[in-house]
A and B are shown apart, each in its own frame.
Chain A
Amino acid sequence: MSAAAREVILRRIRSAVEGAPEAEIVRGYKGITGEPGDVELFAERVRDYKAVVHVVPRAEVAATIAGITAQRLLAVPEGFPSHWYAPSEGETDGVISTCAVAIAETGTIVLDAGPGQGTRAQTLIPDYHLCLVREDQIVPNVPDAIARLDATRPLTWISGPSATSDIELNRVEGVHGPRTLEVVIAIG
């Protein structure tokens, strides 16, 4: 059944485009810059999505995380640097992760299930997500991010906390994903 359907669809396509002119792709837009991303712009754009953002020198990351987690216990995916956060055992009420790439222009964080990021579900089900971004992971724009990523890994692009505009187009933060997104940017 499916084999027949495949042949029929492919035949329909070939007869539909027969004699159609060749269509060249035109790429006049701004492509890969290869430059480092602007930390301040990234922080501002993430804040625009109502996420909480901390920009701190690398040496102060552990202390910043300790301050944030004074009232919380976060789940830690495999491979997360233990010198930044190493909680005691117990019931967690959120998750901490690293990331693969961050985009300044759009305020986006990309997870690719690499070390310290866990599976896709690990950063989805908790109501609170604390994400650690290193300065060298921030790129200026979308083409730079695409160039750095491997398409065949499971990827999650995150731009602010879960939100909906389905009721009278009023943006409401927090539906099914984490309702709070907090970001620590380590500079230097």
Chain B
Amino acid sequence: MSGTFVGMPTFPKNAAKAVQDSQLRFNLRKATHTIRGKRASVVGELDDWAELREAGKTIKDHTLRHLDDYLIQMEEKVTAAGGTVHWARDAAEANRIVARLVKETGETEVVKVKSMATQEIGLNEALAEEGINAYETDLAELIVQLGDDFPSHILVPAIHRNRAEIREIFLKHMAGAPKDLSDEPRALAEAARVYLRQRFLEAKVAISGANFMIAETGTLVVLESEGNGRMCLTLPKTLISVVGIEKLLPTWQDLEVFLQLLPRSSTGERMNPYTSMWTGATEGQEFHLVLLDNGRTSVLADKVGRQALRCIRCSACLNVCPVYERAGGHAYGSVYPGPIGAILTPQLRGMDTPLDRSLPYASSLCGACYEVCPVAIDIPAVLVDLRGKARHTRAEKAGMAAAGWVFNRSKRLAKAQRFGGRMRKLVPKRLPGPLSGWTDTRDMPDIPAESFRDWWMREGKR
């Protein structure tokens, strides 16, 4: 990714623009509905899905409760297996560590496996400033990088692009792309294969993330489809993995739960084509693990919000979300779009910008995300909690305080209702000034002449 989300307007503004783009809406609808169906059918094959989900949830909660112990164990095991462990408090520190490690190899080019953590910290941009070129090797990431675009989905970052658009991007920006390239997915994949093959064989340094880390053994786990992950993880002499501290699992056995939950939730397959697992320096490689905090410990400190750290980045919540399906991923202004992004981004970045404050409202609270979440993150509950924590205007706070005062005592409410009933003829159909925003798109409800309570007191006793 070469763009930046900094300075984006609020979610409603972004979304209003996105819904005007009929091509985008068509692409998203087609993609999310296809993957929804696939997920439902493979999840339905396992009659112990509810139990797997409960295990996934409790394993993650247990790990987070003892995260300090498990991180220390992970560090010991990786070190014992010949790897080097680095700790990074924030994005800048992680980027500095990676840049230094790359420079120490004397190389100026690195290949990358798709990784959310390195996108989150803006690693490619940071490396570019140090004179290091990072080449994304996942097909969708490549499409995003060549098109100088933003990712719009966790799993399929180029989901907003259709085949014709991808062909255009390849012809314009991919060196050596065949002039007669068609827009057949097979031909486009072949072009990417040819373009990247030499790069894989020549690369001396690779950078990856990881889906899981096993504290008991010091093992890292990467799930993928194309084989670009295997290429990057096995061929280069030096491997640097940047991994969020919440990616830990205590034991090797715990992986049996997540290898069932993740592929079925994510790509809707019984298993993804390739999964690589390695422990420390493997087959003559040099291995560095960078453990990343970057806001995760402050999420951990929040009693309600900490459940967001269970997330295994499957993106099932994006695919079922009615808001995501219409607004698209870019509107969220973060590498984490959709329902999970709406609770993760404001917690990781804080709610200092109008965009980040608007994210907890990017939901109708329908709960579909909670239902499909393989680790049972109660996204609606966290959204409501964050809405309470977001900064509100003085007028809104005063209005809410006044309403609270009235609703708190039944006598006050009765008086207010009677007053409203008498004034009902005077209430305009459209509200004046800043309140007109409400009545522009909604009808002002009619105020009844008499409240139900008063009617009941009068008529109900007969």
- The answer, among B86, B140, B159, B297, for a CB contact under 8 Å with A16, is B297
- The answer, among B51, B61, B65, B226, for a CB contact under 8 Å with A162, is B226
B162: A residues at CB distance < 8 A: 168
Closest chain B residue to A110, Cβ basis:
B275
B270: A residues at CB distance < 8 A: 45, 48, 105-107, 159
**Do residues B275 and A12 form an inter-chain contact, with CB atoms below 8 A?**
no
Query: In the assembly, what is the distance between CA of A171 and CA of B341, in Å?
Result: 26
A70: CB under 8 A from chain B? no
Query: In the assembly, what is the distance between CA of A15 and CA of B163, in Å?
Result: 50
Query: In the assembly, what is the distance between CA of A163 and CA of B291, in Å?
Result: 30
A79: CB under 8 A from chain B? no
A88: B residues at CB distance < 8 A: none
B271: CB under 8 A from chain A? yes
**Do residues B186 and A172 form an inter-chain contact, with CB atoms below 8 A?**
yes
A119: CB under 8 A from chain B? yes
**Do residues A120 and B283 form an inter-chain contact, with CB atoms below 8 A?**
yes
Query: In the assembly, what is the distance between CA of A161 and CA of B230, in Å?
Result: 13
A58: CB under 8 A from chain B? no
A1: B residues at CB distance < 8 A: 93
Q: Which of B251-259, B332-340, B366-374, B411-419 contacts A (4 or more CB under 8 A)?
A: B251-259
From residue B100, how far is it (CB to closest CB) to chain A in Å? 10
Q: Mark B258-300, 1 if CB is under 8 A from A, else 0.
A: 0110000001011111111111001100000001010001101
- The answer, among A10, A143, A159, A168, for a CB contact under 8 Å with B273, is A159
Closest chain A residue to B221, Cβ basis:
A155
Query: In the assembly, what is the distance between CA of A165 and CA of B137, in Å?
Result: 14
**Do residues A169 and B34 form an inter-chain contact, with CB atoms below 8 A?**
yes
In terms of DSSP, what is the predominant structure of the interface of chain B? helix
**Do residues B226 and A152 form an inter-chain contact, with CB atoms below 8 A?**
no
**Do residues B273 and A49 form an inter-chain contact, with CB atoms below 8 A?**
yes
Closest chain B residue to A22, Cβ basis:
B65
From residue A88, how far is it (CB to closest CB) to chain B in Å? 27
Q: A12-B297, A159-B272 are in contact. Are A168 and B58 (CB under 8 A)?
A: no
Closest chain A residue to B66, Cβ basis:
A17
**Do residues A152 and B71 form an inter-chain contact, with CB atoms below 8 A?**
no
**Do residues B58 and A24 form an inter-chain contact, with CB atoms below 8 A?**
yes
**Do residues B252 and A177 form an inter-chain contact, with CB atoms below 8 A?**
no
Closest chain B residue to A113, Cβ basis:
B283
B35: A residues at CB distance < 8 A: 169
Query: In the assembly, what is the distance between CA of A119 and CA of B230, in Å?
Result: 12
**Do residues B228 and A176 form an inter-chain contact, with CB atoms below 8 A?**
yes
From residue A167, how far is it (CB to closest CB) to chain B in Å? 4
Closest chain A residue to B201, Cβ basis:
A125
**Do residues B163 and A167 form an inter-chain contact, with CB atoms below 8 A?**
yes
Q: A29-B257, A121-B235, A164-B189 are in contact. Are A154 and B277 (CB under 8 A)?
A: yes
**Do residues A142 and B200 form an inter-chain contact, with CB atoms below 8 A?**
no
**Do residues A157 and B271 form an inter-chain contact, with CB atoms below 8 A?**
yes
**Do residues B55 and A28 form an inter-chain contact, with CB atoms below 8 A?**
yes
**Do residues A156 and B274 form an inter-chain contact, with CB atoms below 8 A?**
yes
B8: CB under 8 A from chain A? no
A108: B residues at CB distance < 8 A: 271
Q: Mark B55-95, 1 if CB is under 8 A from A, else 0.
A: 10011011011111001100000000100001111000100
Query: In the assembly, what is the distance between CA of A121 and CA of B196, in Å?
Result: 16
Closest chain B residue to A119, Cβ basis:
B283
Q: A13-B67, A29-B48 are in contact. Are A172 and B282 (CB under 8 A)?
A: no
B97: CB under 8 A from chain A? yes
A167: B residues at CB distance < 8 A: 139, 158, 163, 166, 185, 188-189
B185: A residues at CB distance < 8 A: 167-168, 170, 172
**Do residues A120 and B230 form an inter-chain contact, with CB atoms below 8 A?**
yes
B227: CB under 8 A from chain A? yes
Closest chain A residue to B47, Cβ basis:
A30
From residue B216, how far is it (CB to closest CB) to chain A in Å? 8
Q: Mark A10-51, 1 if CB is under 8 A from B, else 0.
A: 101111110011111111111100000000000001001100
26 interchain pairs (CB within 8 A)?
A5-B87, A8-B89, A9-B89, A12-B293, A13-B71, A13-B300, A17-B64, A17-B68, A23-B58, A27-B55, A29-B48, A29-B257, A49-B273, A119-B234, A121-B234, A151-B252, A151-B277, A156-B276, A162-B227, A163-B226, A165-B156, A167-B163, A169-B34, A175-B192, A175-B225, A176-B228
Q: Report, nearest first, the 9 A-B pairs whose CB atoms are least far apart.
A: A177-B227, A176-B227, A12-B297, A23-B61, A16-B301, A28-B51, A157-B275, A166-B140, A175-B226
Apart from the given pairs A45-B270, A151-B217, 4 other A-B contacts in the complex at a CB distance below 8 Å? A16-B297, A120-B283, A152-B219, A163-B273
B-side interface residues toward A, CB under 8 Å?
Answer: 27, 30-31, 34-35, 48, 51-52, 54-55, 58-59, 61-62, 64-68, 71-72, 81, 86-89, 93, 97, 137-140, 143, 156, 158-159, 162-163, 166, 185-186, 188-189, 192-193, 196-197, 200, 214, 216-219, 225-228, 230-231, 233-235, 245, 252-253, 255-257, 259-260, 267, 269-279, 282-283, 291, 293, 297-298, 300-301, 303, 306
